[in-house]
Structure 1
C-alpha cells in the first residue's frame, strides 16, 4: 500500500545517450512545422530498471518538405531503494521515468539544433506521457 506522505523509494541512477542520427538540409527555412513523437522500451534486470526513450523530431518546411530529422535514444537507469519502496515500479517506470528524463531530452534538442547552425528549437512544457505512442513493457 502506498503511503502518500513518503517518497517513492526509487532512485534515478543516471541517463545516457545510446543512439543518435541527425540530418538537415543546407538551406533552412525561417518557419518550421515540428513533428515530435516518443516511444519507450521499459526493461528490468534484478533490481535495476531502464527506460529506453526514443525521440523522433522532424521539421517540415511550409511546402511539407522534410528539412530536418533528428532521432536519438536516451536510456534512464532507475533502481528500487532497498526497504524503502513506496510505489509500484511498473507504474513509476511508465509514468514518472519519462517525466524525469524529459528535461535532458529538451536540453539535447536545443543544444544540437543550435550547434547545427539554425535557431535552437525550444520545446515548451509538454505532457510526454500523452505523446508516448509506443510502450514496450518488459517489467
Structure 2
C-alpha cells in the first residue's frame, strides 16, 4: 500500500499591508482574492500567497485594503508537483484564509475604526487559479 500524501501549515506571514480609510468603514466592499504558489522540490514545501484586495463603494481604482499573506506548507511523501493531491489546492487556501480574515479585523480595530469582519466566503473556486498560478522551484 502506497503512503498517502500529507501536508501541514508550517508558517505564515503578512508581508504586504495597505489600509486606506477616512473615518469610517465603507458601506459596500468589492473584494478580489488572488492565490498563487511556488512548489519547492528540494525541501518538499509549498509557498502559498493570497493577495486580498478590497475596494470601497465599487471604486475599483483605489483599494481600501491590500494585503498579501504568505503561508508555507510542508509535504510528506511528495516528490513532484504531479503528486500533489487535488484537495491540497482548495484545502490550503481554506487553512490560511482564516488567519487573513482575523488579521483584517485586528488591523482595522487597532486603526481606531470599527473592526471590519469579513463574511465567510466560499473559496472553492480559487482552486483552479491557484493551480494555474503555481510555479516550480527546483
Band the TM-score falls in, shorter-chain normalisation: 0.7 to 0.9
Shift of residue 59, structure 1, vs aligned partner: 2.3
* Partner of residue 9 from structure 2, selected from 9, 12, 18: 12
Residue 84 of structure 2 corresponds to residue 119 of structure 1: no
Please list every run of 5 or more consecutive structure 2 residues that lacks an aligned counterpart in the other structure: none
Task: Give the C-alpha shift of residue 131 in structure 1.
Answer: 6.0
Which residue in 2 is equivalent to 1:72? 67
1:104 equivalenced with 2:99 (yes/no): yes
Q: Distance in 2 between matches of 1:20 and 1:2?
A: 42
Classify the secondary structure of the residue corresponding to 2:115.
coil
Larger fraction in strand: 1
> Which residues of structure 1 form unaligned runs of 5+?
none
CA offsets 1:49-102 (integer angstroms, 9 cap, x no match)? 1111100122228xx69897110111111111248xxxx525244211110001
Kept in 1, the 8 Å contact 2:33–2:52? The answer is: yes
User: What is the DSSP-based 3-state SS (H/G/I as helix, E as strand, rest coil) of the residue aligned with 2:24?
Assistant: coil
Report the CA distance between 1:2 and its aligned residue.
8.8
Contact 2:90 2:126 in 1 (8 A): no
Separation in 2, partners of 1:133, 1:34: 24
**Cα shift readout 1:11-34 (whole Å, capped 9, x = no counterpart):** 211111111111112x336x6101
Alignment of 1:50 onto 2:47:
yes
Contact in 2 for aligned 1:51/1:93 (Cα 8 Å): no
Q: 2:100 & 2:64 partners in 1: Cα distance? A: 15
Aligned length: 129
The match for 2:135 is 138
RMSD (Å) for aligned C-alpha atoms: 3.2
More helix by share: 2
Task: Rate the CA distance shift 1:100–1:106 in 2: closer, same or farther, 3 A.
Answer: same
